[in-house]
């Protein structure tokens, strides 16, 4: 079975940094694009960033561009999200998802999410 397990969420002060990880299993990780989606408390879904299968092309939402970096280690079947200069409005559950890079794609598997809280 496909599994995506996020980790790394924590309480962090404004301006701080955090690295989220997403360990995958049950599929050939290196063959799939991957995406981070977040959901602020009580709010809707927001696309954050996507990376292609090889890791050489990335996209970011305007709200995180220049502060967040998506990356992957295909040898470890793991996706990452490096988050710098965190702000209160980055507080959200962050979901790791499979797919979502190309036109016409969809997010067919989601992890359970990891909570990032930015507060002093």
**Under DSSP, is residue 103 helix (H, G, I), strand (E, B) or coil?**
coil
* Minimum CB distance to other proteins smaller for 10 or for 46: 46
Q: What is the sign of the dihedral through the CA atoms of 94, 97, 100 and 104?
A: negative
What is the nearest approach in angstroms of other proteins to the Cβ of residue 72? 18
Nearest in space to 82 (alpha carbons), one of 64, 95, 100, 56: 64
Cβ 47 to other proteins shortest distance, Å: 5
Of 43-72, which residues contact other proteins (CB under 8 A)?
44-47, 50, 59, 61-62
How many binding residues for other proteins (CB under 8 A)?
21
Partners of 18 in beta bridges:
83
In terms of DSSP bridges, do strands 45-51 and 107-110 run parallel, antiparallel, or are they unpaired? unpaired
Footprint (CB under 8 A) of other proteins, residues 77-116? 95, 100, 102-108, 110-113
Which residues of this chain interact with other proteins, rule CB under 8 A? 44-47, 50, 59, 61-62, 95, 100, 102-108, 110-113
């Amino acid at each position: 079975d496909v599994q995506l397990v996020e980790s790394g969420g924590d309480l962090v002060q404004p301006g701080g940094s955090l690295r989220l990880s997403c360990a995958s299993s049950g599929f050939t990780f290196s063959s799939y694009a991957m995406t981070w989606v977040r959901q602020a408390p009580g709010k809707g879904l927001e696309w954050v960033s996507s990376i292609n299968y090889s890791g050489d092309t990335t996209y970011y939402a305007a709200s995180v561009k220049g502060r967040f970096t998506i990356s992957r280690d295909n040898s470890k079947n793991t996706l990452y999200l490096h988050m710098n200069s965190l702000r209160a409005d980055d507080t959200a559950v962050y979901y790791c998802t499979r797919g979502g890079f190309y036109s016409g794609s969809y997010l067919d598997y989601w992890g359970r999410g990891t909570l990032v809280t930015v507060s002093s």
